[in-house]
Amino acid sequence: MKKEKKVVLMLLTAVNVFTAKAQDKDSSKLLQEVIVSASRIEEDPSATTRSVTVIGSDEIAKMAYRNVGELLTAQEGIYVVGANQNPGMIQTVFMRGTNSNQTIILIDGVRITDPSSVNNAVDLSELSLANVERIEIVRGSHSTLYGSSAIGGVINIITKKGKQQGLSGSVLAEGGLFAPEGKSLNAQVFLNYRDTSSGFYANASAYRMNSTGIDATLDTVTTAGVFKNRDRDGFVKTDISARIGIDKKKFSAWTSLRLHDQQSDIDRGAFNDDENYTLDFKRKAISAGIDYKFNEKMRLSYLGGLSMMERYAVNDSSVIDALGNTDQTYSDSRNTGGLMSHDLQFTYLSDKIRFIAGASFYQETMNQESYYINTAWMYESKSNLDSLNLHINTISAFSQLRLNGSLINEKAKNFDLTMGGRYISNSSFGTAFTGEINPSLKIGEKDLLYLSYSTGFNAPSLYQLYAPDDFYGYGITLGNTGLNAEISRSFEAGLKHRISNTSLMTVSWFSNRTENMIDYVNLWNKNSSIDSLGWMDGVGATYVNVGTLYSNGVEISLRSELSEKVYVIANASLVQGKIVLLSKGIDTAQTKGHHVQLYSSGAFITGETEQLGLSRRPTTARITLGWKPVKGLDLSTTLRMAGARSDLYYDYSIYPSGGLSTLLVKDYTLLDINASWKHNSGIGATLRIENIFDTQYAEINGFRTRGRGVYFGVRYVF
């Protein structure tokens, strides 16, 4: 931890030096003009009383990011596991030390989740950057405005509407090579038509990515004579979207369609190369929005969406020795999910009062079909959950009120107070209430100081509630209908300092406490002591509320133009935390009194146990120095660092109490070089050299990260 703090202090010193050189200019190229996700209405990001980041289309194109996960992991307070791994790997987001299913993902303000997955978290590898206008990030608990899962924060991906009269569009082609033997090609097309007189517009986009030569897992087996059948895998991804809408002075409406198809021929798990494992994921999504302005102060808005997804995995027989023998097994599983949401919102906005009120309906459904056969043992099994009609409905109402101090006294006009609450009725865990209070103070023309206290919740997933698996026949199902929702309490204090019109520095401190944390546990025979447990003592596995997760940290960011040709973008995040496991909170009706072992660390939950450190959530820092030698040319170099952190480790030599444990994943530092060029004719190009020194590092145990990579792209905008 001392080393990580030293790195952050070094970055802060560098930031201070660069800041001192910033000039006050009228241009605002690095500071985004508007954000809507923080309060569900348009605001200046520098005036928003929470920690926010807006990433515009120019920055996305210039930095040549290949997917949403890569872009997000470059921001403070966020670490995306999988972003630095090979194409097709699952990408999970950890924001402010919270779990991967505690951050909301939106597209055009409409929530997307994945009920077909175990914990309902979205795999960010699903989300390409095709047709993306900007991405808004709001850190911290926002359950008052957004409901379940908004404990770590909110990420809103906003697609293009096309503002140019007539027909316009863009074409992009990119290719890359990355160590050890990976290749990637992708292309995208965007077309838009707009009639400014009527306000009508329509657009469509298509994206295709094809990667080959992938070896996703890390070969750590050094024992002589062990058979290895390593192969090179592939990944194919296709996204198609279309949108039509109308923008008028008082009225706007739109509807969109998204089709996603992702085919992965990759390795099944850490350390385990499997030549016959494939995973296909499909999503079909329809969304719509309507906005009507009664006058300059009042408006009524609706957002809704419907999406269906399917996750189909096949694991055919694999070769297990040099003679070509196989394990003689075949299995497949088809997980399907559905998501429907409706949000209605009324807004009143004046110089002194901002009032937002609304109601929402949210439904998730899922089904699972599985098949397994072992021809050597002549064993076959099938399962289908269709008859259970698995679903969860959530109905809620919310309101938020922001008052300016001038209502009391004109001298208090620089003070604002925001308060809000949401009432939730969930068909699984019953009712709940979340709230927030958020005072802020403008200090002069350049500084904004804010505080925030908010509560939040995260509902258990359908899989965690209803998965019927009974692994050993002891009557203990994997799903647990007695699960309680995770409840959070979050504090935040922040300062935004506008150094100049083109320079903004932010500093924020946060602290989260999440009770009733849900986790997967192994169960062992209660009639045997923990020290004497062996292979025959396993009695099952399930999900239970295991205790309380604590996380806290500091985030710092700077975006500044030092001159017309030189700029700096820097951020650092110091995060730490612990988990307190409480046996008194364990659902003994579900576990039947057996020994409970936490899968994520191997710890047995006996009494109160405290575990320091958060797995897969490192301290991070990044600094980009850019130079624009001539008009249209942008050259930059980026240093990115991640601190050491713990991760799951399976030790085969100690079973079962030491079988599951944690192992330290080493820190890493990477250097990238980026060049982008844009001509007045609409032709542009990007060149990115990633991990220049071919540093060998890991995000998590057992999976390979990309080595040195060279990526080149050509774009034409018309």
| DSSP string for 385-407 | -GGG-EEEEEEEEEEEEEEEGGG
Q: Is residue 37 part of a domain?
A: yes
Name the DSSP class of 461: P
In whole angstroms, what is the distance from residue 162 CA to residue 204 CA?
Answer: 10
The DSSP secondary-structure symbol of 226 reads -
Residue 511 lies in a domain: yes
pTM: 0.92
* Element holding 4 (H helix, E strand): helix 2-20
Report residue 485: phi and psi, to 5°: -65, 145
In this prediction, residue 23 carries a pLDDT of 43
User: In whole angstroms, what is the distance from residue 370 CA to residue 336 CA?
Assistant: 12
- Has residue 616 been placed in a domain? yes
Q: Identify the weakest region by mean pLDDT among 27-31, 109-113, 238-242, 441-445.
A: 27-31
More reliable by pLDDT, 326 or 595: 595
Could you write out the DSSP letters of every residue in 13-33?
Answer: HHHHHHHHT----S--SSS-S
Backbone angles phi, psi at 661, to 5 degrees: -150, -170
Using pLDDT thresholds of 50, 70 and 90, give the confidence band for residue 320: low
Q: Is residue 609 part of a domain?
A: yes
Q: pLDDT tier at 22 (50, 70, 90 boundaries)?
A: very low
Q: Does 645 fall in a domain?
A: yes
> Is the pLDDT at 157 greater than 70, yes or no?
yes
> Would you say how long the chain is, in residues?
718
User: CA-to-CA distance for 225 and 362, rounded, in angstroms?
Assistant: 55
For the residues 435-461, what does the mean pLDDT come to? 95
Residue 355's beta-bridge partner residues? 348, 401
Strand-pair partners of 429: none
In this predicted structure, the answer to whether residue 102 has a pLDDT above a threshold of 50 is yes
Tokens of 518: 């849900």
Classify residue 430 as exposed, middle or buried by CB count within 10 Å of its CB (0-12, 13-18, 19+).
exposed
- Whole domain around residue 86: which residue ranges? 2-167+302-678+687-702
Across 183-192, 222-231, 352-361, 567-576, least confident range: 222-231
276 occurs within a structural domain? no
9: which residues sit within 8 A by CB, 6+ positions away?
none
Question: Helical H runs in 271-428?
Answer: none
pLDDT digits (tens, 9 = 90+) for 60-72: 888 778 889 999 9
CATH number at residue 578: 2.40.170
Helix, strand, or coil here: 711? strand
Distance CA 598, CA 544 (A): 10
Paired residues of 217 in beta bridges = 703
pLDDT reading at 334 higher than 70: yes
- Contact between 462 and 115 under an 8 Å Cβ cutoff? The reply is yes
Residue at 664 is within a domain: yes
- Please report whether residue 417 resides in a domain: yes
Mean pLDDT confidence for 608-622? 91
Structural domains in the chain (count):
1
Look up residue 423 and give its DSSP letter.
E
Query: Rounded distance, CA 373 to CA 330, Å?
Result: 5
Find all residues with CB under 8 Å of 355, minimum gap 6, and list them: 347, 348, 349, 399, 400, 401, 402
Residues 632 and 490: their CA atoms lie apart, in Å, by: 44
